[in-house]
Amino acid sequence: MIRKILLALLVLFIAIQFYRPARNNGDAAGPHDITHYVHVPDTVMAILKSSCYDCHSNHTEYPWYTNINPVGWWMRGHINDGKRGLNFSDLSSMDNQKIAKRLTGVARETAKGDMPLPSYTWIHTYAKLDAGQRQIIKEWTDSAKVELNVKM
């Protein structure tokens, strides 16, 4: 009986490998990305690319283990959730007020250490933000809100 269950699980595991989620392989820097709305200094862009863009842009660098389902499905859901919250590659549906509100959220979440997610930085240790990087993000979001000419 146990042998049949294990064999069924193995067949199921192999079968799910053929159902691949769509990849997030678009262009991170297109005509509607953040740089077309506010100035993004190189230091900030480097932080965004290393700590934010995998989940909050149209381009994800996929590690090898995302080729194994159900990990690939979990990752796709995670990316979809991140992009739904804020997609640095496509701000076309947002007015300046909404962009400023999202930037306030970026500053708040990074200051609290909630972003990038601990589950992400556990594997991607390079994405952890130190106090100086969190301060750089805070100063950038503050100046970007001024640039957007929005009263918060």
Per-residue pLDDT at 48: 94
Alpha helices in the chain, H assignment, sequence order: 2-16, 42-51, 53-56, 71-85, 96-112, 118-121, 131-147
Per-residue pLDDT at 150: 67
Residue 59: closest CA among 31, 102, 89: 89
CB 62 within 8 Å of CB 23: yes
Q: Flag residues of the chain having pLDDT under 70.
A: 150-152
Per-residue pLDDT at 112: 92
Per-residue pLDDT at 77: 86
Per-residue pLDDT at 151: 65
Q: Give the sign of the dihedral formed by CA 44, CA 50, CA 51, CA 56.
A: positive
Per-residue pLDDT at 152: 58
Phi, psi of 65 (to 5 degrees): -70, -10
Per-residue pLDDT at 71: 84
Using DSSP, state whether 25 is helix, strand or coil.
Answer: strand
Query: Is the whole-model pTM more than 0.85?
Result: no
